Amino acid sequence: MANEINATITNALGWLKRAFSVRDNSTKLFQFVLYSFVFTYLLLLAFIFNADVKLTTLGAVYALTIPIYYYFILMLLTFVLMPVLWGRKLLWLILIPKFLLDMMLVADYFIFDIYRFHIDMLFINMLLHDFKGIGISIWLVLLSLVVYSVIFLINFVIYKKVNNLPKLKLKWVNSAVFVIFLIGQTIHIVGYDYKNANITRFTPYLPYYAPLTSNKLMTKLKANYPNIFPEQTNNQSDQIDSILAGKSKSGLLQYPAHPLTCKAETSERDNHKPNILIFVMESWRQDVMDNKVTPNIFEFSQQATQFDNHYSGGSVTVNGLFSLLYGLHPTYRDYMTSSPYQHQSLLTKTLEQQGYDIDVYTSSNLDRFSLKAMFFGKINDENYVNPLKDKVYINDKLAVDALVKDLQTPSDKPWFKFVFLSASHHNYQYPEEHNLFQPVETNPEAFLFDKHMDGKPLFNDYKNSVNYVDSLFGELWSVLNATDVAHNTLTIVTSDHGEEFNDDNNGYWGHGSNFAKYQTAVPLIIKQPNQDVATSVNQLTGHIDVVPTILQQAIHCANPSSDYSSGFNLFELPEQRAGLIISSYKDKAYLIDGQVYATGLNIESYSVEDINQENEAFNYQKLNQLKEQESTLLNH
């Protein structure tokens, strides 16, 4: 009897050891992931071959390493699921995430090929709740089911046969794959810095692909190895010259849809085309524009038009400035970044063609994300004032001093001047004489340890920095008013995005974390030439409306704004509009009738006025209209 019990226990322990053998089961898991990814690799090559990119040797090497990005995502997911999959009877569950990945890639390939956007959670929601609105036929659904069945069968066969396949040494194989991946990403870092479209243009074609960039690394490489990584000046770049001459392929973009036809009219008073000044204050939210915090801008607004329901195209600087200087939804930014010189903003490019001098004054590093190249193209160093070495508030002052000096120098040419000051960015900086609002937070990072702390002291600190930047605006405006060109200057004052201080008691601070008004609603004040009466506009407006306003009001471009912009002339707004698109670094949102539809890993919909007010009544018609606007300027 005892022997039988011992035998039973031994058999049971043996079964448990085999069933829950961490080593054996995990080896099978990762062998399956490795072998089955060969099929996924072929699917991803379809995206790469679909890209309108002229392959060079280096570009081909980089392109072939791109799919490894998704391999490591799958590996990471497998690691996360390992506690569930250790049991031998549950190993087959690895088929589910692998099948879902392959299924998503196939679906995304065709969706992107037709509509020029990648699948996101909002699209899936629309597919489930507004199937007819998407425009997918039943026969296509049936065909998809057949394709997905084949995909599942392929993965299932690999899973069943994996034990019969050669047992690879996973540690060495994955190490080699990782090295190859790093080589590819290094190629992208260099290609991105040198604006090499044969490298960067792949990015928009691939779903949720975020290759590495490093301005800091490239700065060090250029300093330490100048023979290998030379500084690329405007006059030395043959590639840039050829791009500017229009000799490279346009890729996905048709920007503009038709060539612009513009003719700037001169002022009767001084026979001069209107000058254009854009003043942008970092992180300046809409409700912090009054006669106490911003007395100089408030005084300016009394002879200008104020837009009281205005939103940036981003809850972060990159997308906010992109929407402002391109007049396009921020979802177009990846396409522009892939070929920044070729797709320079039509605003500055057209003004250059019309004989305008382009000058920039900023304390921010716009070399990040290729913004400088995208916004201002091949701008000369003497026209680009960018102090970076001192404290931010001092750099702001230096930039404004340079602007003031230029304003006091007469010019026989019309000018476009762009000013972007950063002292109002966290952690907020200002001279002691602007420490007006009390009490202030002594530790500007305190909210990191207590996200539900009282926001007022830090908000006061922020308002002091805004007050300082306002004083700099006051300096330049007083100088401009003293010149004989002030009457013929179109002046625009706004911000890149807002700033939050736990306003809705949800623990949100700063910007880039949600799309409610505190982070996205910004001031917009426009003073047209010879305007001296204050007016206000309460209709929904966005940064995307600024470019068509300038091109139509200042230099009389005859094209419909849809040829080059997602927006409208702010002085000829339509009675109805679908809404606006706003992006952060990680996701985007559709703003429709005061409701935010935020996409990401999940879908959130809430009132733009209060993130605590959830929205359950989706407006699929306007969502479809905005989705269509995201691909208006893409080749189909």
Q: Mean per-residue pLDDT for 355-384?
A: 94
Report the DSSP pairing between strands 541-542 and 310-311. Answer: parallel
Region 436-453: mean pLDDT is: 91
Is 255 a domain residue?
no
For residue 335, pLDDT beyond 60: yes
Position 594 confidence tier, pLDDT thresholds 50, 70, 90: very high
Judge if 164 and 278 occupy the same domain: no
Same domain assignment for residues 344 and 476: yes
Are residues 17 and 147 located together in one domain of the fold? yes
Q: Cα–Cα distances in Å, from 91 out to 70, 202, 430? A: 21, 35, 60
Strands 580-583 and 588-592: antiparallel
Last residue of a domain, one of 174, 200, 226: 200
Q: Is residue 600 part of a domain?
A: no
**What is the pLDDT, as a whole number, of residue 377?**
95
Residues 181 and 303 in one domain: no
**Are 285 and 193 contained in the same domain?**
no
Residue 250 has what pLDDT? 43
Which residue range(s) make up the domain with 407? Answer: 273-577
Contacts of 136 (CB under 8 A, 6+ apart): 127
563 by Cβ neighbours in 10 Å (0-12 / 13-18 / 19+) ranks as: buried
Cα–Cα distance for residue pair 452/610, rounded to 1 Å: 17
Give the separation between CA 201 and CA 181, rounded to whole angstroms: 18
Instruction: Note the pLDDT tens digit of each residue in 206-223.
Output: 998 989 988 888 888 888
Is residue 247's pLDDT more than 50? no
Residue 242 above 80 pLDDT? no
Same domain, 385 and 534: yes
Residue 423 confidence class, pLDDT cut points 50, 70, 90: very high
Tokens of residue 551, six digits? 């091109």
- 614 in a domain, yes or no? no
Note whether residue 462 is domain-resident: yes
Do 284 and 378 lie in a common domain?
Answer: yes
Pick the residue with more confidence: 524 or 165? Answer: 524
**Does 142 share its domain with 40?**
yes
- Secondary structure tally for the chain: helices H, strands E: 22, 16
**Residue 237 domain flag:** no
Sign for the CA dihedral angle at 313, 314, 319, 321 comes to: positive
For residue 72, the model assigns a pLDDT of: 94
Least confident of 56-65, 110-119, 170-179, 573-582: 110-119
Chosen domain end from 178, 200, 222:
200
Residue 529 falls within a domain, yes or no? yes
Residues paired with residue 535 on neighbouring β-strands, in sequence order = 305
> Is 185 within the bounds of a domain?
yes
pLDDT digits (tens, 9 = 90+) for 144-194: 899 999 999 999 999 999 889 888 888 899 999 999 999 999 999 998 888
CB atoms within 10 A of CB 53: 22
Residue 100 confidence (pLDDT) above 80: yes
Please state, in angstroms and as integers, the Cα–Cα distance from residue 128 to each residue in 124, 136, 297, 591, following that order: 6, 12, 48, 21
Instruction: Please tell me the predicted confidence (pLDDT) of residue 9.
Output: 56
* pTM, 2 dp: 0.79
Task: Determine the Cα–Cα distance for residues 240 and 339; give it in Å rounded to an integer.
Answer: 10
Mean pLDDT over residues 554-578, rounded?
96
Residues near 400 by beta carbon (within 8 Å), at least 6 away in sequence? 361, 419, 421, 472, 475, 476
Residues 283 and 193 in one domain: no
Q: What is the domain count for the chain?
A: 2
Task: Report the chain's mean pLDDT, rounded to a whole number.
Answer: 88
pLDDT band at 245 (very low <50, low <70, confident <90, very high): very low
Both tokens of 624, joined, read 């479809």
Q: Are residues 105 and 15 in the same domain?
A: yes
Q: What is the pLDDT of residues 493-519, one digit of tens each?
A: 999 999 999 999 999 999 998 999 999
Predicted pLDDT of residue 365 = 92
Residues linked to residue 599 through DSSP beta bridges, in sequence order: 588
Q: For 255, how many CA atoms within 13 A lie in the half-sphere containing its CB? A: 29
- Whether 139 maps to a domain, the answer reads yes
| Per-residue model confidence (pLDDT) at position 460 | 97
Q: What is the pLDDT of residue 616?
A: 86
Per-range mean pLDDT, top range of 31-45, 234-248, 462-476: 462-476
Q: If you average pLDDT over residues 18-24, what whole number do you get?
A: 52
Q: What's the CA gap between 636 and 168, in Å, rounded? A: 43
Confidence tier at 7 by pLDDT (50, 70, 90):
low
Q: Which residue has the higher pLDDT, 205 or 464?
A: 464
Task: Decide which of 555, 577, 599 is a domain's last residue.
Answer: 577
What is the reported pLDDT for 469? 98
Indicate whether 395 and 543 sit together in one domain.
Answer: yes
Q: Do 377 and 513 reside in the same domain of the chain?
A: yes
Query: What CATH number corresponds to the domain at position 448?
Result: 3.40.720.10
| CA nearest neighbour of 608 among 497, 479, 515, 478 | 515
Do the strands 595-599 and 357-362 form a parallel or antiparallel pair, or are they unpaired?
unpaired
Chain CA centroid to CA 234, Å: 26
Which of 58-62, 295-299, 443-447 is predicted most confidently? 295-299
